[in-house]
């Protein structure tokens, strides 16, 4: 697949993930967070499995691939979704958005340490610009509340997700990332169901007391944000690499802010637009798109 299609896919994923944050903030007020996560991820896993069955991509993993699946399920599904939902039930969406925005920087550091992949100077500059944009648009423009235990849980969530990208990058050499996603979601969902029965006994009963609005948002979160989102993002990680793909995570909290302004009536100011500019520059530099364009222009000048 051409690089621009991968990039377009990543922008779409960041949009639906940005929408997922305010959706989850509402859902966890209705159903206990771990119970909600368990059945949301299970629904997503079944949807991905159905999609891959229709695409005729299903196959039995090897013993080595099962190791990656189990490790990916632990980090990408169980720990990430567990800590994210627990954290969002305590902290604010603004704080959660900012902390999730540290993903690209954490991914670059992890890739350098674990995968021995070192970003170029342009990519490091992109990471810095993206993080600066997040700080301007969310930290400066957001609420002024201090850090709390919910913030720490959200940080653990993004750290677990970043570590899972290292696993996905290695597993993608032999296992289609889309198939890996299906197995990770299903294995992780059953682990979360067990945890929910222990931590939140009777939490499942809360589903019987919900409204049509809840179910509409639940299905949107499970199918579009989690199933399709993880399917596309993990595929992009396998094709473009963990560091390049993670650059686009800078767009995630930005979309959260924009959608909050549209649907919740929150006001955007000059800082948010300055943050938008820095984030776009960061994505262009960090993804390598600007560097590739510069090289092509230099080659044209040399041949003309």
d(C-alpha 45, C-alpha 192), whole Å: 13
Residue 275 resides in a domain: no
Within a domain: residue 139?
no
- The proportion of the chain whose per-residue pLDDT surpasses 90, expressed as a percent, equals 26
For the stretch 28-83, pLDDT in tens is 889 998 899 899 999 999 999 999 999 888 999 999 999 999 999 999 889 988 88
> By the 8 A CB rule, do 27 and 217 touch?
yes
Cβ neighbours of residue 6 closer than 8 Å, sequence gap 6 or more: 236, 239, 240
Structural domain tally of the chain?
A: 1
Which range marks the domain in which residue 96 is found? Answer: 3-123+145-242
Residue 193 belongs to some domain of the structure: yes
If DSSP codes are grouped into helix, strand and coil, which group holds residue 283? helix
Q: Which residue has the higher pLDDT, 128 or 148?
A: 128
> Using 50, 70 and 90 to split pLDDT, how confident is the model at 283?
low
Is residue 295 in a domain?
A: no
Model confidence over 74-111: pLDDT tens digits? 998 899 888 887 887 776 555 556 566 666 666 666 66
Q: Is 298 contained in some domain?
A: no
Neighbours of 272 (CB within 10 A): 21
pTM (2 d.p.): 0.71
Question: Is position 53 within any domain?
Answer: yes
Q: Would you state the pLDDT for residue 150?
A: 74
Among 225, 176, 200, residue whose Cα is nearest residue 60:
176
Q: What whole-number distance in Å separates Cα of residue 242 and Cα of residue 169?
A: 7
Would residue 256 count as lying in a domain? no
What pLDDT, in 10s, does the model give residues 177-209? 889 889 999 999 999 999 999 999 888 899 988
**How confident is the model over 219-235, as a mean pLDDT?**
89
Cβ-Cβ contacts under 8 Å for 263 (sequence gap 6 or more): 22
CA atoms within 13 A on the CB side of 197: 5
Q: Could you read off the pLDDT of 288-303 as tens digits, one per residue?
A: 656 666 777 777 777 7
Residue the block writes with tokens 């990656």: 68
Indicate left, alpha or beta for 56 from its phi (over 0: left) and psi (-120 to 50: alpha): left
| Residue where the block lists tokens 């589903």 | 207
Place of tokens 């938008």: 276
User: DSSP secondary-structure letter at 28?
Assistant: T
Does 134 fall in a domain? no
Confidence band for 147, pLDDT divided at 50, 70 and 90: very low
């Amino acid at each position: 697949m051409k690089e621009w299609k991968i990039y377009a896919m990543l922008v779409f994923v960041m949009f639906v993930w940005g929408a997922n944050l305010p959706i989850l903030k509402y859902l966890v007020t209705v159903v206990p967070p771990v119970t909600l996560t368990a059945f949301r991820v299970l629904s997503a896993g079944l949807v991905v499995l159905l999609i891959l069955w229709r695409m005729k991509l299903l196959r039995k993993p090897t013993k080595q691939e099962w190791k990656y699946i189990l490790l990916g399920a632990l980090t990408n599904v169980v720990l990430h979704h567990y800590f994210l939902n627990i954290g969002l039930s305590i902290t604010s969406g603004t704080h959660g958005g900012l902390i999730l925005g540290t993903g690209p920087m954490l991914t670059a550091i992890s890739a350098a340490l674990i995968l021995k992949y070192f970003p170029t100077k342009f990519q490091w500059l992109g990471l810095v610009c993206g993080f600066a944009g997040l700080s301007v648009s969310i930290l400066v423009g957001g609420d002024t509340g201090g850090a709390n235990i919910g913030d720490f849980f959200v940080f653990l969530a993004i750290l677990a997700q970043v570590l899972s990208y290292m696993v996905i990058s290695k597993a993608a050499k032999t296992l289609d990332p889309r198939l890996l996603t299906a197995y990770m979601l299903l294995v992780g969902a059953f682990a979360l169901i067990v945890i929910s029965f222990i931590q939140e006994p009777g939490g499942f009963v809360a589903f019987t007391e919900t409204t049509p609005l809840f179910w509409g948002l639940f299905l949107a979160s499970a199918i579009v944000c989690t199933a399709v989102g993880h399917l596309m993002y993990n595929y992009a990680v396998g094709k473009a690499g963990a560091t390049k793909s993670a650059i686009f995570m800078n767009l995630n909290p930005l979309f959260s802010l924009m959608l909050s302004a549209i649907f919740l009536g929150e006001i955007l100011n000059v800082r948010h637009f300055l943050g938008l500019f820095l984030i776009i520059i960061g994505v262009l530099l960090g993804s390598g798109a600007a560097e590739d364009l510069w090289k092509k222009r230099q080659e044209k000048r040399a041949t003309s």
